[in-house]
Amino acid sequence: MQPLTLRILPERLAICSLPPDAAPPAWVFMGRFYALMRTPEELSIVCAAENVPAFVPSVGPWACLQVEGVLDFALTGILAGLAAPLAEAGIGLFALSAYRTDFILVRAEDLTHAQRVLRRAGHAVG
């Protein structure tokens, strides 16, 4: 796998869970970055941590690293190349994929360590 370039987004995010039949609340859309996934078990939300009401089950804050550039759907091993060194270092992640690229979330307190680990693995992080 070729080295990747990752950009750190400025937002601090939260991962939230609502009932599967819940409508997405307005506070989800108040930030610049958000993602929604509905499954039979839940409505899972990633959004700006500062906008999440205290009564909503959530985990955060998370820092978000974006793989720069457009990734071809034929590419393989992108997430594995990021996840493996982080896992070896004991850093958990939450992965998101969009049409054009991938994102990994690490706990905000792990960001500096994650940057060092990814750089040692040959990736550019900045």
CATH number for the domain that contains residue 42: 3.30.2130.10
Q: For residue 100, what pLDDT band results from cuts at 50, 70 and 90?
A: confident
Taking a C-beta distance cutoff of 8 angstroms, is the pair 104, 87 a contact? Answer: no
**pLDDT for 52:** 98
Cα of first residue to Cα of last residue in the chain, in angstroms, is 20
| pLDDT at res. 28 | 97
pLDDT of residue 75: 63
Domain tally, the chain: 1
Strand 5-18 relative to strand 43-48, pairing: antiparallel
Residue type, 27: W
Number of Cβ atoms within 10 Å of the Cβ of 37: 10
Average pLDDT over the chain reads 93
Q: What is the pLDDT of residues 17-53, one digit of tens each?
A: 999 999 999 999 999 999 999 999 999 999 999 999 9
125 CB-side CA count, 13 A: 21
Give yes or no for a contact between 82 and 71, defined as CB atoms under 8 angstroms apart: no
- pLDDT above 70 for 77: no
Contact 10, 32 (CB under 8 A): no
Q: Dihedral of CA 73/79/82/88: which sign? A: negative
Range of the domain at 46: 5-125
Residue 56 has which token pair? Answer: 């909503």
